[in-house]
Amino acid sequence: MRINKNIYDEIVMVAYDLYERRGRVHGYDLEDWLEAERIVLERHTKEIFQEAKTIGSTKGRKTSDKTEAKILKTSKKTSESSSQTKTKKSPPKKNTG
């Protein structure tokens, strides 16, 4: 989360710089802020995508680990139950004749 704080601080500084370049004219704060966001995010696009990719791959890995654990558990139960299966004798047929 440190990168988010740094980006916010950088947006603040760029927005203030835009305000000063405009001659400190009031009433353009929103425009300056949005322009500063665009500038800063454009600078950090590669970092942001890399962080998102890392987060996404970590989540995917956790999901696959859980799935793998479920499969192993299921296959273990199946193999245990098949090895413990007892052969049942059929009841004797009644002679009706």
- Per-residue pLDDT tens digits of the chain, which is 97 residues long: 566 788 999 999 999 999 999 999 999 999 999 999 999 999 988 888 888 888 888 766 655 566 666 665 665 555 555 445 454 555 666 666 5
pLDDT of residue 44: 86
Length of the chain: 97
Please state, in angstroms and rounded to a whole number, the distance separating the CA atoms of residues 89 and 47.
69
Please state, in angstroms and rounded to a whole number, the distance separating the CA atoms of residues 74 and 81.
11
Please state, in angstroms and rounded to a whole number, the distance separating the CA atoms of residues 17 and 26.
13
- The answer to whether residue 89 sits within a structural domain is no
**Domain of residue 56, residue span:** 2-72
CA atoms within 13 A on the CB side of 40: 22
- The answer to whether residue 62 sits within a structural domain is yes
- The answer to whether residue 93 sits within a structural domain is no
Count of domains observed in the chain = 1
- The answer to whether residue 67 sits within a structural domain is yes
Give which of 3, 32, 5, 29 is closest to 18, Cα–Cα.
32
| DSSP one-letter code for 84 | S
pLDDT of residue 45: 86
pLDDT of residue 49: 84
pLDDT of residue 82: 47
pLDDT of residue 56: 83
